[in-house]
Structure 1
Amino acid sequence: MRLKFLFSFMMSVAWGCGAHANPLRLNTDGSWNFHGSVALFAATTTKGTTTVNGNSADVDLNLRDALDHLDFTGTGRVEAWNGRLGLIAEGHYIGLSASARATSGPAAGATVNVESTQSWMSFLVGYQVTDGQFANGRPYSFDVQGGARYNRLTQEIVGSGGVLNVGGTERWWEPVIGARYSWGIADGWDGAFMVDASGFDTNGNELAWSATLGLARRFNERSSLVFGWRHYDIDFSTARAGGPFGTDLYSSGPFIGYAYTFN
C-alpha cells in the first residue's frame, strides 16, 4: 500500500455548520435571548491536496469513502443576544482514521495507521445591523460577526514497530469574520444565508471560508429542524522539521441540525 493512498483519507466529511436559520427576534427590555444549535454536515464531495513531511497527495472523496473512516464528528453553536449586541461560541470536531498493511516503501510489511483530526472553537461578537418586516409581514434580520478562532489540526502516519512516524499536530489562532441574513418564508418556515472567512494569512492559514444556505422548519416558537447546503474551503500550510505540512481542499454537501431558542 502506497503512502499517497493513505494520505487520501486525511481530510474529509464534516466541518462546523452553525447557521441559525430563524430571523433574530431580539428583546428590547434589557433581557437576554439565547439560541443553541447542533448539526452534522455530510460532505458529498471533498477535493484538494494534503501534505505531510513534504509529500503531497490528491484528495478526491465522496461521502461513502469518508464515512468508512469516520471515528466521530460533532458541531455546536450557542448565541446570547441583548439588544443588538450578541456573544457567540461555536465549536467543531472531526476524527478520521485508516489502517492497512504497506506493500512498498520503507514501511513495507508493516501495519500503517493514519489519523486525522480537525477541531476548532470560535469566539465572536455579533451586531444586528437591521431587522424589520417585508410588505407581506414576514420578518427579516441582518447581523455581522467578528472575533477569533482556535484551530487544532492533526495529520499523522505511524507504522508498527517504529518503521514510520511522520506528520504531527499544528495549533494556531486566527481572526474570523462573518455575516448572516435571515428571513421568514412562510408560516413555520424560515431561511438564512451565512458566510464567514478566517485566517487572512495568519499563522499559516492563507484563507478559510464557508457559505451556508439553510432552511428551518419551526415546530413552535422555540424548536426548529434546520437543514440545507454548505461549502467549506481551507488553505493552510506551515514548515515542520520533517518538511512542509498542510492542506488545501474544499468540501460541499448537505447538513441537518436542531435549533432551540430560550430566554
Structure 2
Amino acid sequence: MNHKLASAACAIAVIAWADAAIAEPFALTGHDDGQWRYVFTPYAFIPAGTTGTSTIDGTSVDLDLSLDEALDALNLAFSGRFEAWRGDWGLLFDGNYVSLGGDESIGLPGPGGGSLDVEVDIEQYWLTFMAAYRAVDTTYGDAGRRFALDLQGGLRYNSLKQEVDIDTPGPATKLGGTETWWEPVIGARGVWELNDNWAAAIVADFGGFGVGGDDLQVIATAGFDWRPERWTNTSIKFGYRYYSLDFETDDGDFAYDVSQHGPYLGVTFRWQ
C-alpha cells in the first residue's frame, strides 16, 4: 500500500518541477546609450514527457508520465522572468509557482470492507537571482546580423511541499513534508538575429553542484523570438526545452532523479 501511495504522490510532485522554466531568450535591443532597459516575460513550459525515479519516506518508484497525466494533476501554475540591463551588465529575476493536488478512494480487501481516502497536496516555488554580462556583441554574415552571448551566474531558492494525507477507519496518517534549499546557478545564452522580426536563441543553465542536496539541475532551451510587423516592443517566444533534476536529502528518504522535455511558450514586453 505504501508503494501505491508514494507512486501517486511522486507522480504529481514531479510535475511541479516541469514548470521550472528559466532563461527565456533576451531580444537584441542594441541600446548603448547608458539607459536602463527592461524586459518581462510570462511563460509556460509543458512537459510532454517525464521519466526518472522519485522517493518519498524511503519508498522509491519509477516515473513515466505522459502529457495528459501531467495536466490532470495541475491546479494552478504561473511563472515569469524579469531582466534589467544597462550597457553590457544585467540583473535577472526568475520566479515560478505551482499548486497541484488530487484525491482518491481506495477500497480495502477483506470482509470488513471500508476504504482509504488519499489526498495529495503539492505546492512548489523557486526564485532565481542572477547577474549577467554580455561577453560578445558582434555581427555575422553578409547582411551584418547581430549575435550576442550572455554569461550568467547567481543563486536559486527552492521550496517543495509534498504531503499525502491518508484517512482510514483508524488513525489518520500523513506522509512527506517540505524541503527547501539554496543552490548556485551558472548559465549562458546565445542569440542570433535572423532578420528584422526573428531571432533564434540557445540557452543552457546549470545549478546545484551538490549544494543543498541537489547534485545537478540542468535546463537547456532552443527557440525563437518573433516580433510581428506592427508590434514595437512585444514579441512571442516559443521553442523546446529539456529539464533534469537530481536531488536527495541526507537520509535518502526524499529524492528526485527525473528528466523532462517539452515545448515552451511566452510573451515578452520591453521598455526603457
Q: With structure 2 as the length reference, what TM-score do the two structures score?
A: 0.89
Offset at residue 202 of structure 1 (A) = 0.3
| SS state at 1:66 partner | helix
- The answer as to 2:21 corresponding to 1:17 is yes
- Comparing 157-166 with 222-231, greater Cα deviation is found at 157-166
Other-structure match for 2:151 = 144
| Partner residue, 1:203 | 212
Query: Is the deviation greater in 126-135 or in 6-15?
Result: 6-15
For the pair 1:54 / 2:65, whether they are aligned, the reply is no
CA contact (8 A) 1:41 1:255 kept: yes
Q: Secondary structure at the match of 2:70?
A: helix
How many residue pairs get aligned? The number is 259
Asked whether the 8 Å contact 1:23–1:139 carries over to 2, the reply is no
Distance in 2, matches of 1:20 and 1:10, equals 24
Mapped partners of 1:117, 1:57: distance in 2: 20
**Contiguous gaps of at least 5 residues in structure 2:** none
Query: What amino acid does structure 2 have at the position aligned with 1:3?
Result: L
Give 1 or 2 for the bigger CA radius of gyration: 2
Q: Indicate yes or no: 2:12 matched with 1:3.
A: no
- For 1:4 and 1:16, how far apart are their aligned partners in 2? 22
Amino acid at match of 2:25: A
Residue 200 and residue 22 in structure 1: after superposition, are their counterparts in 2 closer, same or farther (change >3 A)?
A: closer
**Post-superposition offset of 1:4:** 4.1
Alignment of 1:1-263 (within 5 A): 2-7=4-9, 8-12=11-15, 14-103=18-107, 109-135=115-141, 136-160=143-167, 162-219=171-228, 220-239=231-250, 244-263=253-272
Q: Judging changes above 3 Å, is the alpha-carbon distance between structure 1 residues 52 and 5 closer, same or farther for their aligned structure 2 residues?
A: closer
Shift of 1:28: 2.2
User: Identity of paired residues, percent?
Assistant: 36
CA positional deviation for 1:213 = 0.7
SS in 2 for 1:110: strand
| Partner AA of 1:155 in structure 2 | Q
Q: RMSD value over aligned CA atoms?
A: 1.9
The TM-score with structure 1 as length reference comes to: 0.92
**Offset at residue 247 of structure 1 (A):** 1.1
Deviations 1:115-137 (A, max 9, x none): 22321000000000011221222
1:38-57 CA distances to partner (integer Å, 9 max, x unpaired)?
11111100111111110111
SS in 1 for 2:14: coil
Q: Is the 8 A contact 2:108 2:116 kept in 1?
A: no
Residues 1:140 and 1:204: Cα distance change in structure 2 (over 3 Å): same
Aligned residue type for 2:76: F
Once residues 151 and 157 of structure 1 are traced to their aligned partners in structure 2, the CA distance between those partners, rounded to angstroms, is: 20
CA distance, structure 1, for counterparts of residue 241 and residue 189 of structure 2: 14
**CA distance in structure 2 between the aligned counterparts of 1:18 and 1:218, rounded to whole angstroms:** 21
